[in-house]
Structures are given as C-alpha cells and as structure tokens.
C-alpha cells in the first residue's frame, strides 16, 4: 500500500515537472534581462500592518460572530497598532481589552469558540503564549478530535513571533516548530502584505484553531498589493506555498521574514550566475511539501532558512520529508539548513545580529551546497 502511494506521488511529481510554457514567459525573460519592474494595474503599496487591519475590519464586518480580544487591542489600538480604529468602529462587544492573563483570555477565547463565536485572540508576542499554551494545545488543538468532530474550536491565535530588534531572549523565540508539531492546529506564517491579509481572512473563516505567526519587524514594511488582493473576498488558501522567484540552480525554502533575506540573497547570487528558486512556505502546518519536492526535482539542491533554533525546527522537518519522498532521488547534495543560533537571543546588537541568519549566511550555504 505504501509502495503504491509512493509510486503515485512520484508520478505526480514527474507530471508537475513537465514543461508548460506560459503566455507570460517572454515578458518574464524581458523583465529579468532588462531589470524592468512591471506593476499590475491599480496595485498599491500596503504595509503588513494595514493589510492585517484590513483583514480584521473586513471579517468583523462580514460575520458578527467574529470578535477580537487581547491586551491593549481596543482603546490603545493594539500594542503594535494592528487593530487601529476597530474598537471605535465596532465597539466594546466586538473588540475587547482583557486583563493581563494569557491563560485567562486564551481560555475565554476557546470557550467562546466552543459556544459558537469566532474569536481572534491576540498574544502581545507568542513568547507570552507559553503562559496559555495548555489552552492552545490541550483544549483548542485537541478538542475536535477528542469529541469525534462534534466540538469544533474556530479560534485564531495571532501575534508577533520570532525575533524583533533588541528585545532579548524572552521576547524573541520562534514558535513555528512548537505549534507546527501539533495535530489539530493549523499554523500559518505570512511574509508579504498579501500573505498577511489573505491568510488572516482564511484563518478566521476556517473552523479549525489556527495559529498565525506574524513578525513585528515586518509590520511597517510595505509590499505591493494587487487590485485582486485589495478586494474583500481575497483569501490565501492555508496549506499552499508560493514560489516568490523561479530559479534553476538551487531551492531556497523559508517562512516569514527570512523569505525577504532569501530574495536578497537570490539577487546577490543572480549577479554571479546562480539562479535561486525562492519558496515562501506561507503555511507551516499543513506543510506544502509537494511544492518543495517539485522544486528540488528541478534544481537538485535544497537550502532551508528559518529564524528559529535548529534542533527539531522547520528546516529539520522539511529535510526529513524530502528524504522520505520522491525528491530525495533528485538531490545532488545533502540539504543544508540555515537557522538561528542555538542560544537564547542575546540583547546587544552585535550579538543579536550574529544570532540570526543573515543574507551572507544564505549565500554561503548556497555556495557550499553547490560546491562553488
């Protein structure tokens, strides 16, 4: 049975590799050769913060069961201003400032979800979610299964994850691996504004508990948003990765802010004749390993990049799955992981900078795996 399944996946992979020229190919080549940047009509620059705010606003308007709760989300407009203007617009019943108890308000969110509402629960950072982790894992994640499907828990836990700048060990941990480990949860990690808006809307509309790992350092970064992405019905499907930049020599896989570092590394390497394919995972669980497999089958080399710690991390999982699947046969070199340093995050800037993957580390890893 397992052999048949493996054979089927192999066939599916081969089918994906079959070349299919698109109408846009000549245009893409022109863009790459001449360095032209062509914007889609009516696209605008939107920061990740504003994209999240739009998503919350639209979903609050669309479904009266949706509500926000967390510390400082209402009158303060949110600790990072993600919920700016929403309390003024929707009032006390829809945007709620909670007392300082993560265990408390996460539990309240879970209970409200079990009783038919659709809460969006903000952790000021996911570091503080550890105070509530029993509610997230033992209750939110496991209840649907434990009740044989009769008690869904449609809650979204969201907030900044991973490193910020100069906030030390207890404010900088990446929780992608921890939450990605647990069946019963969906875990998403956006990079661009389109990711942020589309995934948050998808998360709120999903009947499962969803953990949305944002990045404080990305909140103020503007990204281009197409006209389609600006619409109220724009949703990014959970469980589907995106190829941000096609390439032929090596596959770079990342999530969240490191996707940007990969794009920068790809630009540096392009000048040296190495074309990287950059994959933005978008979702940690369920992970879209098929997109990675198809890419590895094309490039034969894999480098994973993450801000989190190496042991038991996202990169470790990607490497394990690649080994277990058909793409293993296409690897010309062992996959390489670029990760955060295996230490609690230090505060001093020189120490912090060197505890996180930098563009030069990605370039080094690519050259090492390509043996150049």
Is 102 catalytic? The answer is: yes
Q: How far is the CB of 263 from other proteins (least distance, A)?
A: 30
| DSSP codes of every residue in 247-285 | -SSEEEEE-STHHHHHHHHHHHHHTTT--EEEEE--EEE
Would you tell me the crossing angle of helices 289-299 and 2-17 to the nearest 10 degrees? Answer: 60
Q: How far is the CB of 144 from other proteins (least distance, A)?
A: 25
Residue 11 interacts with other proteins (CB under 8 A): yes or no: no
The stretch among 31-39, 53-61, 102-110, 141-149 that binds other proteins (CB under 8 A) is: 102-110
The stretch among 6-14, 212-220, 303-311, 341-349 that binds other proteins (CB under 8 A) is: 341-349
Q: How far is the CB of 71 from other proteins (least distance, A)?
A: 7
Candidate list 47, 131, 230, 358; residue touching other proteins; CB under 8 A? 131
| DSSP codes of every residue in 59-96 | HHHH-TTEEEEETTSSTTS-TTSTTTTHHHHH-TTTEE
Candidate list 47, 57, 72, 217; residue touching other proteins; CB under 8 A? 72
Q: How many residues bind other proteins (CB under 8 A)?
A: 29
Q: Rounded CA gap, 18 and 1, in Å?
A: 26
Residue 85 interacts with other proteins (CB under 8 A): yes or no: no
Going by DSSP bridges, is the β-strand pair 250-254/66-70 parallel, antiparallel, or unpaired? unpaired
Q: How far is the CB of 79 from other proteins (least distance, A)?
A: 7
Q: Rounded CA gap, 365 and 334, in Å?
A: 11
User: CB neighbours of 99 closer than 8 A, spacing ≥ 6?
Assistant: 105
Q: In this complex, which beta carbon is closest to other proteins, that of residue 138 or of residue 226?
A: 138
Candidate list 29, 42, 64, 166; residue touching other proteins; CB under 8 A? 166
Residue 217 interacts with other proteins (CB under 8 A): yes or no: no
What's the residue count for the chain?
372
- 8 Å CB contact between 90 and 136: no
Q: Rounded CA gap, 87 and 45, in Å?
A: 25
The stretch among 61-69, 162-170, 175-183, 284-292 that binds other proteins (CB under 8 A) is: 162-170
Candidate list 42, 151, 169, 323; residue touching other proteins; CB under 8 A? 169
Q: In this complex, which beta carbon is closest to other proteins, that of residue 310 or of residue 346?
A: 346
SS3 content of the chain, % helix, strand, coil (to 5): 45, 15, 40
Q: How far is the CB of 344 from other proteins (least distance, A)?
A: 8
Q: Which token pair is 162?
A: 């991973």
Q: In this complex, which beta carbon is closest to other proteins, that of residue 91 or of residue 286?
A: 91
Q: Assign 175 to helix, strand or coil.
A: coil
Distance (Å) of CA 346 to CA 13, 84, 244, 354: 43, 31, 31, 10
Q: How far is the CB of 91 from other proteins (least distance, A)?
A: 15
Ramachandran assignment for 166, one of left (phi > 0), alpha (psi -120 to 50 degrees), beta (any other):
left
Active-site hit among 58, 71, 122, 171: 171
Candidate list 94, 118, 171, 285; residue touching other proteins; CB under 8 A? 171
Q: Which residues are catalytic?
A: 102, 171
The residues that touch other proteins, with contacts defined as CB under 8 A, are: 71-72, 75-76, 79, 97, 99-104, 127-128, 130-131, 166-171, 344, 346-351
């Amino acid at each position: 049975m397992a052999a048949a399944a493996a054979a089927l996946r192999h066939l599916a992979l081969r089918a994906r590799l079959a070349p299919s020229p698109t109408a846009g190919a000549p245009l893409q080549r022109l863009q790459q050769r001449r360095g032209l940047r062509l914007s889609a009509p009516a696209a605008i620059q939107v920061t990740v913060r504003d994209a999240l705010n739009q998503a919350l606003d639209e979903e609050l308007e669309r479904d009266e069961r949706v509500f926000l709760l967390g510390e400082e989300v209402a009158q303060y407009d949110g600790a990072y201003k993600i919920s700016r203007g929403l309390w003024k617009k929707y009032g006390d019943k829809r945007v709620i400032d909670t007392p300082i108890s993560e265990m408390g308000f996460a539990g309240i969110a879970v209970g409200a979800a079990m009783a038919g509402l659709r809460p969006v629960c903000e952790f000021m950072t996911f570091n503080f979610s550890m105070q509530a982790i029993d509610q997230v894992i033992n209750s939110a994640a496991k209840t649907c299964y434990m009740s044989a499907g009769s008690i869904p828990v449609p809650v979204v836990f969201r907030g900044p994850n991973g490193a910020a700048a100069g906030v030390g060990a207890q404010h900088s941990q990446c929780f992608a691996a921890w939450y990605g480990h647990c069946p019963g949860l969906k875990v998403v990690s956006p990079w661009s504004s389109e990711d942020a808006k589309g995934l948050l809307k998808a998360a709120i509309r999903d009947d499962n508990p969803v953990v949305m790992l944002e990045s404080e350092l990305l909140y103020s970064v503007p990204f281009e948003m197409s006209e389609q992405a600006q619409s109220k019905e724009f949703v990014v499907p959970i469980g589907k990765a995106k190829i941000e930049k096609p390439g032929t020599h090596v596959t770079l896989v990342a999530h969240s802010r490191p996707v940007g570092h990969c794009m920068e590394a790809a630009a540096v390497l392009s000048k040296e004749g190495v074309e990287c394919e950059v994959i933005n995972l978008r979702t940690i669980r369920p992970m879209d390993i098929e997109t990675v497999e198809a890419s590895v089958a094309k490039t034969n080399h894999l480098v994973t990049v993450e801000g989190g710690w190496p042991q038991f991390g996202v990169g470790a999982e990607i490497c394990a799955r690649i080994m277990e699947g058909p793409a293993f046969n296409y690897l010309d070199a062992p996959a390489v992981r670029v990760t955060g340093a295996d230490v609690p995050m230090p505060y001093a800037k020189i120490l912090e900078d060197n505890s996180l993957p930098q563009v030069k580390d990605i370039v080094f890893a690519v050259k090492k795996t390509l043996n150049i």
